[in-house]
Amino acid sequence: MQFIIEGGKKLNGDIWVSGAKNAALPIIAATLLTDDECILDNVPRISDVETLLNILKSLGSAVAWTGEHQVTICNRNATFHNPDYQSVKSLRASILFFGSFLARFHTIDMIEPGGCIIGNRPLDTHFHALSKLGVRMEKKNGTYALSSDGLRGAEVVLLEASVTATENILMAAVYAQGVTVIKNAACEPHVQDLVTFLQKLGADIAGNGTTTLTVHGVSVLHGTVHTIIPDTIEAGTFLMLGIANKGKLRINNVIPEHMDVVLEKLKMMGAKFDVSDTTITTHSHGIMRAAKIDARPYPGIPTDLQSVFGVLATQIQGTTLIWDTLFEGRMGYVQELVRMGANAVICDPHRVLITGPTPLYGQEIRSFDLRAGAAMIIAGLIASGRTVINGAEIVSRGYERIVERLQAVGADIQQKDS
Ligand code: EPU
């Protein structure tokens, strides 16, 4: 699939942020913790979500879209007989089933998950933490055999504040006997949304929003209705698109306090925008200055926005240091920006220096990962001439109807299925 963009059009109007992918995925996995029906609202219609739902269906769960963004799931009949390993293999986020599968089925075989190639992303933190709850793990030919004689609460110090490891341990701990204390837990808004969902099911979890979570095991969880939070990464992407394009975009369905540091950094750099309870509106004026953009665990700047900051950096005065303190393989997009006219030097796997302002020119480029793909769209929209983005399907994995939403605010972007 390709995106074909004629750049340089001023964008104007309202754009709506979808439900958060990285909240929807663990919450879908967590529905397995109850036999009762769960109704999830504001679920993004993206292929990553469909893939996880397919895995649930392959277990015998009843899964139905009951509204445009509402999915109803009942796992009463789920068994671990015939999981859809093809889907597991296609998606890194299928590791999110480790916790809920273990809580429900106790012994599982899981194929090593695939997904975006953005560095090493080892699963050590997951297994180290699960082992504290009494999980045994054996790896043979790309398959993990995980088993336990009943999960038991323990103190779990995460080796790093990993988002999906925190989510897995939470899901495993809700039924574990006794008390689990997770230290150095990730506390991203999507982790908080999972905790809120688990609490609604009846889980006993204290410390939501902090880096220490205390879970008292319970014996039964019930169904619930839950609305997924808006996607902070999408909100930040649209915000920086509006700023880079110097257009007037009103970004709707935002929780601004989930992006405090991003907003503060952009203001400090000179960007002009108004923030209300649920919207952010960009203005065309404002001279921006370069800054250090260091991506860190929440509440820092999210790594998932680092490439978008990279594109913005090509348009502002001075030298910006983009420093992804998390991933060591997420700078591939920079070489595409250079081909479009950017002045950038990759210093090492974590850091790049970008000096602006430089005009960007349309090119045939590639989308390296989901977030880099979104950044490439912004680059194409502010470049002069035609940009062709190859490998565009990776973007639709995480952004619902992105082409239609951008067209609605004046972007000249088409999708070509090849
Ligand atoms: N890391 C550190 N220090 C930390 C935490 C993490 O160096 O304190 C490193 C890890 O070693 C790894 C990277 O940062 O290389 C990411 O770590 P993490 O385990 O937190 O990533 P993840 O749980 O596999 C989730 C999101 C990613 C997002 C990362 C970081 C989901 C399904 N995935 O992945 O989202 O980039 O957290 O916030 O929630 C995406 O949506 O495109 C995506 C890749």
For 270-286, the pLDDT digits (tens) are 999 999 999 999 997 77
Residue 39's pLDDT is what?
Answer: 98
Buried b / exposed e over 105-140, threshold 16 CB at 10 Å, is beebebbebebbebbebebebbbebbebbbbebeee
Sole residue written with tokens 């929209």: 381
- 161 CB under 6 A from ligand 1? yes
Atom of ligand 1 nearest to the CA of 186: 20
Distance 331 CA to ligand 1 centre (A): 15
- 217 compared with 120, residue with greater pLDDT: 217
Query: Which residue owns the Cα nearest ligand 1 atom 9?
Result: 326
Is residue 171 over pLDDT 80? yes
- 304 CB under 6 A from ligand 1? yes
Distance 162 CA to ligand 1 centre (A): 6
* Cα→Cα distances 123→84, 98, 113, 137, Å: 21, 11, 10, 12
Q: What distance in Å separates the CA atoms of residue 234 and residue 137, rounded to the nearest whole number?
A: 36
Domains of the chain, with CATH numbers? Answer: 2-18+230-416 (3.65.10.10), 21-227 (3.65.10.10)
The pair of structure tokens assigned to 157 is: 């110090």
Distance 173 CA to ligand 1 centre (A): 21
CB 7 within 8 A of CB 362: yes
pLDDT, tens digit, 9 for 90 and up, residues 360-411: 999 999 988 899 999 999 999 999 999 999 999 989 889 999 999 999 999 9
| pTM score, whole prediction | 0.96
Element housing 251 (H / E): strand 248-252
- 22 CB under 6 A from ligand 1? yes
- 164 CB under 6 A from ligand 1? yes
The torsion angles phi and psi of 387, rounded to 5 degrees, stand at: -115, 135
- 127 CB under 6 A from ligand 1? no
pLDDT, tens digit, 9 for 90 and up, residues 134-146: 999 888 887 889 9
Distance 8 CA to ligand 1 centre (A): 33
38 given a catalytic annotation: no
Mean pLDDT of 319-331: 95
pLDDT band at 89 (very low <50, low <70, confident <90, very high): confident
Residue 229's pLDDT is what?
Answer: 98
Q: Please classify residue 361 by burial: count the beta carbons closer than 10 Å to its beta carbon, then call 0-12 exposed, 13-18 middle and 19+ buried.
A: middle
- 124 CB under 6 A from ligand 1? no
Distance 371 CA to ligand 1 centre (A): 12
Residue 121's pLDDT is what?
Answer: 60
Query: Which residue owns the Cα nearest ligand 1 atom 20?
Result: 162
Q: In this prediction, what percent of the chain has a pLDDT beyond 70?
A: 98
**For 169, what's the count of Cα atoms within 13 Å in the CB-facing half-sphere?**
39
Sole residue written with tokens 């889907």: 87
pLDDT, tens digit, 9 for 90 and up, residues 250-264: 999 999 999 999 999
Distance 320 CA to ligand 1 centre (A): 23
pLDDT, tens digit, 9 for 90 and up, residues 28-63: 999 999 999 999 999 999 999 999 999 999 999 999
pLDDT mean across residues, the chain: 94
Residue 120's pLDDT is what?
Answer: 53
Mean pLDDT of 123-137: 91
Residue 118's pLDDT is what?
Answer: 44
Pocket of ligand 1, candidates 96, 162, 229, 325: which has the most ligand atoms within 8 Å of its Cβ, to mutate? 162
- 25 CB under 6 A from ligand 1? yes
Pocket of ligand 1, candidates 18, 21, 22: which has the most ligand atoms within 8 Å of its Cβ, to mutate? 22
Is residue 102 over pLDDT 60? yes
Is residue 116 over pLDDT 90? no
Q: What distance in Å separates the CA atoms of residue 124 and residue 280, rounded to the nearest whole number?
A: 39
